[in-house]
Every structure is written in C-alpha cells, then in structure tokens.
Amino acid sequence: MEYPYVYRWNRQDRKGQRCAVTARGTMNSCRVEFPDGYRMITSRNAIAKAKDTP
C-alpha cells in the first residue's frame, strides 16, 4: 500500500508519519491507515500530501 499523505496534527504522537486515506466521510472526516496498521478517524484538515524527496 502507498502512503501518499502525512499526518499533520500531534494526536497520539502521529505527527509527521506517512498515512493513506482508506475512506472519506461526511463533515470533512476520513479514515486513515498508517504503515504499522493503526487506523483512525480524523479530520481531513489533519492530513497533507507528502512532498516526496528524490
């Protein structure tokens, strides 16, 4: 699985970690999954597209 987003908020010590959006809901919410398998429901304001470095 690719992880094209970065979690921006410091919730549950996940700031700066790569994640993938697995579902989008109403009221700007989404379900994200991290490489270690942890999943959470969060605001879409909490994620940003990752800037890949060459």
Q: What is the pLDDT of residue 52?
A: 81
- The single-letter code of the amino acid at 44 is R
Structure tokens of 39? 């999943």
Residue 40 inside a domain? The answer is: yes
DSSP state of 53: -
Residue 38 inside a domain? The answer is: yes
Question: Which class for 19: exposed (0-12), middle (13-18), buried (19 or more C-beta within 10 A)?
Answer: buried
Range of the domain at 20: 5-48
Q: What is the pLDDT of residue 53?
A: 56
Structure tokens of 52? 């890949």
Question: What's 31's domain CATH number?
Answer: 2.30.30
Going from the first residue of the chain to its last (54 residues), give the mean pLDDT of each consecutive group of 10, the final group possibly shorter: 96 96 97 98 97 70
- Give the count of domains, the chain: 1
Q: What is the pLDDT of residue 47?
A: 98
